Amino acid sequence: MEADFVIIGSGSAGGAMAARLSEDGKHSVIVLEFGGSDIGPLIQMPAALSYPMNMPRYDWGFRSEPEPHLGGRTLGVPRGKVIGGSSSINGMVYVRGHAGDYDYWEESGASGWGYADVVPYFKRMENWHPGPHGGDPDRRGNSGPLHVTRGKRDNPLFNTFVEAGKQAGFELTDDYNGEKQEGFGPMEQTVWQGRRWSVANAYLKPALKRPNLKLVTCYARKVVIQNGRAVGVEIERGGKTEIVRAKREVIVAASSINSPKILMLSGIGPAAQLGEHGIAVVADRPGVGANLQDHMELYIQQASVLPITLYKHWNTFGKALIGAQWLFFKNGLGASNQFESAAFIRSKAGVKYPDIQFHFIPIAVRYDGQAAAEGHGFQAHVGPMRSSSRGAVTLRSSDPKAPPRIQFNYMSDPKDWSDFRHCIRVTREIFSQAAFDPYRGKEILPGGQYQTDEELDDHIRRHAESAYHPCGTCKMGRAEDPMAVVDPECRVIGVEGLRVADSSIFPRITNGNLNGPSIMVGEKASDHILGKPMLPTDNGVPWINPRWELSDR
């Protein structure tokens, strides 16, 4: 069991790296993955997305510690435990993030990761199909492995939401992944020919046909480090512990929850914490596990007086029909994640680029599928994009099988509360536009009785949910930054032959869903690992609202 490169994790970044590192046939690659097969309709059918993320078979089943600012609630933290990682259980929404996010990365010490540097990697990975909805072809890729499509938007409510945004005075955009993120328009999804287009389908399965790439099903316990150099990974399978040796490098791509855990178990992390668990310190890096970030969101739900929503299919017969149509023809409602309209807006004058995201869906139901649909209705998932609240992933014990302790510290920054109240009020404003007049019934959530700041805060405390975008726990930065864990080439500072490349290296959370940026990290890290020159920078300039200093719209 030996290869040039050993990758822990087959998820968004790990799967992309496995394909790229094995591409020219010169290097042997072993991918270590604890989860099993992704075959079956619950993963492959886009509309079934609420199932796999709540199934122990596919999900690590992590939960946060009681969150002090949310009345002590513990929140689910789904992470994919299956080939393809979280790209096999996510909501399939594709968002690159805003140019300003990557320019911030660069300014904060991740040199070479500015907007101009990362766009070529987004283009390289994309195979973009805009459909009849326009878009920004100059900024998009059309020959990569990752198919990116748009839903059909057959339900009239998808266009109603966009029209209402326009009536409220906000911008429109026909491609938020192109030059102009700000505005209301179509949402993009990693779905191809009616199937979830995960990293497993896009990168890993085609690459596994190569003789120099191997997938090993096992439990990764820790990185083996000798004389300051990573030489392999200690794994467990079939009740036995063994070592998979890396001739060149070990690459940790195990998620923003498991990557810091594995580093700490390997002796890389805050020395005091490692000492508490009797772990010998290889590299004292206080940033390992710190800087944990996430997006939170609320479901703003409105009843519909016309029976045109997806609720009419929300019964055993309706679901069976959708499932059968998908099974035989890979089309119909099952072939979309149903997030087909989106918006990115700015919360107030003086905010330079969007800091609020909307996912719109023509049914009033919870993302995790745990609450019954409330009759005919529609909803927007809305939340602030750039909270200053920070949490941490820490070890519970030195036992590799023990889940880590996850504390997000959601809503610990007072500004989070005013930002969230604004999200509720601006969504109400959008739903109150004339475009929604033919459909609008009563407000289901929060409910019209919630109006004052105190009432809205109470609702937020009880109902704000994770958008499942954890990141930042092995931050990329300058080698001299004490809180940085990896340098701008994803090399772990203080250890030879070891890299981390996944969403844990984000210095700050990006604007939108994290699957796209995580795959991009895997793409760019591959070139760093192979010592290739970086792709030529892209000189496209992002659109910034000329009124940004004067108005939120």
The enclosing domain of 394 has a CATH number of 3.50.50.60
Q: Is 90 labelled a binding residue?
A: yes
Mean pLDDT of 455-460: 98
The total domain count for the chain is: 1
What integer pLDDT is reported at residue 368 of this predicted model?
65
Alpha-carbon distances of 388 from 233, 408, 411, rounded to whole Å: 35, 11, 9
For residue 153, give the nearest of 130, 128, 127 by alpha carbon: 130
Task: Identify the helix (H) or strand (E) that includes residue 350.
Answer: none
Of 314 and 203, which is predicted with more confidence? 203
Catalytic annotation, residues: 469
Domain range holding 348?
Answer: 2-530
Exposed, middle or buried by CB within 10 Å (0-12, 13-18, 19+), for 49? buried
* 316 located within any domain: yes
Q: Is 92 labelled a binding residue?
A: yes
Per the CB < 8 A criterion, the answer to whether 376 and 307 are in contact is yes
Q: Is 93 labelled a binding residue?
A: yes
Per the CB < 8 A criterion, the answer to whether 435 and 164 are in contact is yes
What integer pLDDT is reported at residue 370 of this predicted model?
63
* 553 located within any domain: no
Mean pLDDT of 450-462: 98
Q: Is 82 labelled a binding residue?
A: yes
pLDDT band at 125; cut points 50, 70, 90? very high
Mean pLDDT of 57-74: 98
* 544 located within any domain: no
* 537 located within any domain: no
Task: Identify the helix (H) or strand (E) that includes residue 550.
Answer: none
What integer pLDDT is reported at residue 372 of this predicted model?
66
* 539 located within any domain: no
SS3 assignment for 127-182: EECCCCCCCCHHHCCECCCEEEEECCCCCHHHHHHHHHHHHCCCCECCCCCCCCCC
Does pLDDT of 130 surpass 80? yes
* 489 located within any domain: yes
* 547 located within any domain: no
Does pLDDT of 134 surpass 90? no
Per the CB < 8 A criterion, the answer to whether 84 and 365 are in contact is no
What predicted TM-score, i.e. pTM, was given to this entire model?
0.98
What integer pLDDT is reported at residue 159 of this predicted model?
98
* 175 located within any domain: yes
Mean pLDDT of 392-402: 98
